[in-house]
Chains A and B, each alone.
Chain A
Amino acid sequence: MPNPEIMSFSNSESTDPSAEHIGEDLGTVQARGAMAMDVAKEQTGGQIFQNLSKEEFNSFDVSKLSNEQLVQAYHEVTALRAQIEQGSSAQNSENTQNMSATEVAQKVAEPEPTPQEPEIIDSERARSTLDKAKKNQSAKSWLTKKTMAVVIAASLLVGGAIGYYGAEASTSSAESGGRTTVEDNIDQDALGQETIENTELTGELSNGVHYDYREYADYDNKTSEYAFGYDKSEFFNDREATEDAWMEMANKSPEYISSYIDVLTDEEKAELGIDNMSTSELDDYLSNAQNIDGGAKQQKIFEKLNQIARDKENTRYEFYYENDTEYSYYHVFNDENKDGKYSPEEMRVYYSKVPRNGAPQVDVYRLINGQWTKVIDLNIQCGFQPNQETVPENMQLIPDNPDTGSETTGSEGTGSEGTGSEGTGSEGTGSEGTGNEGTDINPKDPDNLIRIDQNIDENISTDIGTENINHNPNPGVSEADKTNKPSGEEHKGTKPEIKQNDSSKSAEKVQPQKTENSHNQDKGGKNDKEYKPVQSKEEAQKKADSSATEVKNAPTDKQSVSNELKDLGID
């Protein structure tokens, strides 16, 4: 039973020298066997256990000790246990070799502070200090300098640990040629004999992935997604300045030109010697032309682009201001002999299965100079933006149905006849009229593009169970219009009777004429400021002046007003 007097020896549980507590400690020591017994007697210099045999030690009954003996025994056992548990031998410890058990016990119970290993504060406090330090420029700068000094050494250590540095680094350094390496910028003596290869910004990983950090560091980079952000507002509406800016951009980053090569015909590409190069190959060539052929071909390509960009006769720049934020332009070829007018058969609509930003796209193509050219793509997220993307002859889209030919997409039936598309209508223009027969659009990748206008007809045909689909290519023509045209057998060879100034009919309301590329697409909604017609103030003023009409002085008295009304035939 614990002695009440002993219990009051200390309030600290850890120094409680009660018989029960000491018994537990002794039991621990005893459990370690004879070896522990020897250590206990020999190394603690203990007074209680010194003369005990192994048997007596193992069967020692703590409750038989006096209070003084109990205290002494406590210290001896505590010291003994601490030393055994630490796995250290007091025999090898200069500090404890000549100490009493009490001193040893005190030493163990109260470990000396170790300045080299400060108390680890809680992580929350460290986090708070870290966050504060991140906002202190001096602290950041100082730690960065420390880190810069360490990075190289740390690299060496890590490299050495896995054995990748050393001979390989030396070899790489030797092969680096004129490339700047870290070793050029550091004190070799301070670092030892090791050489360090410069961190490459571009290269290939062991799994074959090509990486190029410059794409993320330089917004002007050729393939950067931010390249779209070139500021085009400075030369808005100024063709010549735009030409200069464009050419300057191409001069600084010749690889930039590769994006525009698709506008060249195969013949032009062959002249430049780039007809067999893919866009990425051309990009690579333009990026390294000086090292490949001294830039000879690069210069020819640049001159060609320069010629196209400045060709005022055959090309034009369309400037636009999009979403109230972006001034931009696109450069297009003037269409030969079309004066901007197209028949419906010269336009096709495709649904692209290749999404952009996760949204599906619809592409609108026009037949320009005998080539199907993408003029608009509609993207659900981006709205729409005009693009000029010529489909090369060897790039084939979804073909016309060979069984139905252009009829399926054309306007055979009521539409073409009534709207005056005869001659340029479906039968003539769709394929034959533009000389596309035999070279008409063929599948590029059926999985990627689906021709919508054709599909709509096919879908309707399936739905209503007929192959004859009569759709109206000109929704502006009403049924009333159609009744006045010759139709049926009885009218064959006749012409419609036309009466001038026929007072029996009320005047038709005159619809405002819509012209091609008028840009007058203001629908009054969010996009009401988009695609405003580009015109100078002088032009606008001139137009306003010409439409002005003279206004007489307004009559003020009643009689004058009556007279004016009479003059106008109003009684």
Chain B
Amino acid sequence: MDNYLIDRETLGKFVDELIKRKALPVNTPEELNSLREESIKSLDDKIGMAIFGSLTAEQDTEFNQLLDRGDASESEFEDFFNRIGLDVEQKITDTMNAFGAEFLGGQNA
């Protein structure tokens, strides 16, 4: 199992779009690939922190119990976030937008 929360190729599609739109300080395909991997990793981390950082201590405990069970289904995760009123898709969207704006606006992104 890889060390990503979200499928890296899914995030890669988004990162690729950003890369295509910005003159990057890279000179070789290897450097470009390295930048791409770092960006994917960073985006994955930011999304995870945005979602789980929005949980209250109580919600966090409950979510951890779901994870600890090991057999929680996708629908249970869906139900959990619906019940606590956290719009996960919105969190992801906001994070991606912020990431994209930072990437495209950064001097050396």
Instruction: Take A136-B70, A138-B74 as given contacts and tell me if A147 and B7 are in contact as well, using a CB distance cutoff of 8 Å.
Output: yes
Chain A 101-144 interface mask (CB, 8 Å, partner B; 1/0): 00000000000000110111101011101101111111111111
Instruction: Take A118-B55, A138-B77 as given contacts and tell me if A146 and B89 are in contact as well, using a CB distance cutoff of 8 Å.
Output: yes
Q: Are B14's CB and A120's CB within 8 A?
A: no
Instruction: Take A150-B92, A158-B18, A207-B24 as given contacts and tell me if A126 and B3 are in contact as well, using a CB distance cutoff of 8 Å.
Output: no
Instruction: Let me know if B109 is at the binding interface, CB within 8 A.
Output: no
Tell me the complex Cα distance, A210–B28, Å. 8
Q: Which residues of B contact A207 (CB under 8 A)?
A: 23-24, 26
Instruction: Take A115-B85, A142-B77 as given contacts and tell me if A158 and B5 are in contact as well, using a CB distance cutoff of 8 Å.
Output: no
Instruction: Let me know if B108 is at the binding interface, CB within 8 A.
Output: no
Tell me the complex Cα distance, A151–B8, Å. 12
Pick from B12, B32, B33, B51: contact of A205, CB under 8 Å: B32
B interface secondary structure, majority: helix
State which residues 10-29 of B face A: CB under 8 Å: 10-14, 16-24, 26-29
Chain A 195-237 interface mask (CB, 8 Å, partner B; 1/0): 0000110010111011111011000000000000000000000
A interface secondary structure, majority: helix
Q: Are A206's CB and B29's CB within 8 A?
A: no
Instruction: Let me know if A148 is at the binding interface, CB within 8 A.
Output: yes
Q: Which residues of B contact A119 (CB under 8 A)?
A: 56-57
Nearest residue (CB) in B for A207 is B23
Instruction: Let me know if B42 is at the binding interface, CB within 8 A.
Output: no
Tell me the complex Cα distance, A395–B87, Å. 66
Tell me the complex Cα distance, A211–B28, Å. 8
Q: Are B5's CB and A146's CB within 8 A?
A: no
Q: Are A151's CB and B64's CB within 8 A?
A: no
Q: Are A120's CB and B96's CB within 8 A?
A: no
User: Looking at chain A, what size class is its interface with the partner chain?
Assistant: 35 or more
Q: Are A136's CB and B57's CB within 8 A?
A: no
Instruction: Take A153-B93, A216-B33 as given contacts and tell me if A120 and B52 are in contact as well, using a CB distance cutoff of 8 Å.
Output: no
Q: Are A144's CB and B6's CB within 8 A?
A: yes
Tell me the complex Cα distance, A118–B57, Å. 10
Q: Are A144's CB and B97's CB within 8 A?
A: no
Q: Which residues of B contact A477 (CB under 8 A)?
A: none
User: Looking at chain B, what size class is its interface with the partner chain?
Assistant: 35 or more
Q: Which of A159-167, A296-304, A497-505, A559-567 participates in binding chain B? A: A159-167
Chain B 65-86 interface mask (CB, 8 Å, partner A; 1/0): 0011010111011100000111
Q: Are A121's CB and B27's CB within 8 A?
A: no
Listed residue (B1, B47, B92) with the most chain A CB atoms within 10 angstroms of its CB: B92
Q: Are B93's CB and A157's CB within 8 A?
A: yes
Tell me the complex Cα distance, A120–B1, Å. 29
* Min distance, Cβ B86 to any Cβ of chain A, angstroms: 7
* Min distance, Cβ B64 to any Cβ of chain A, angstroms: 6
Listed residue (B4, B49, B52, B67) with the most chain A CB atoms within 10 angstroms of its CB: B52
Q: Are B29's CB and A126's CB within 8 A?
A: no
Q: Are A150's CB and B89's CB within 8 A?
A: yes
Q: Which residues of A contact B18 (CB under 8 A)?
A: 158
Q: Are A118's CB and B29's CB within 8 A?
A: no
The 5 nearest A-B residue pairs measured at CB: A158-B100, A154-B96, A126-B53, A142-B74, A130-B48
Identify the B interface with A (CB < 8 A): 1, 3-7, 10-14, 16-24, 26-29, 32-33, 36, 45, 47-49, 51-57, 59-60, 63-64, 67-68, 70, 72-74, 76-78, 84-86, 88-89, 92-93, 96-97, 100-101, 104
Q: Can you list 14 residue pairs at the A/B interface with Cβ under 8 Å?
A: A119-B56, A123-B49, A133-B52, A135-B1, A137-B1, A143-B47, A143-B92, A144-B6, A147-B7, A157-B100, A162-B21, A205-B19, A206-B23, A209-B27
Identify the A interface with B (CB < 8 A): 115-116, 118-121, 123, 125-127, 129-130, 132-151, 153-155, 157-159, 161-162, 164, 199-200, 203, 205-207, 209-213, 215-216
Additional 18 contacts, C-beta under 8 A, given A135-B1, A157-B100: A116-B85, A126-B48, A126-B49, A126-B52, A129-B60, A129-B63, A129-B64, A130-B48, A140-B4, A140-B6, A143-B51, A147-B7, A153-B93, A154-B92, A159-B17, A162-B104, A199-B16, A215-B29
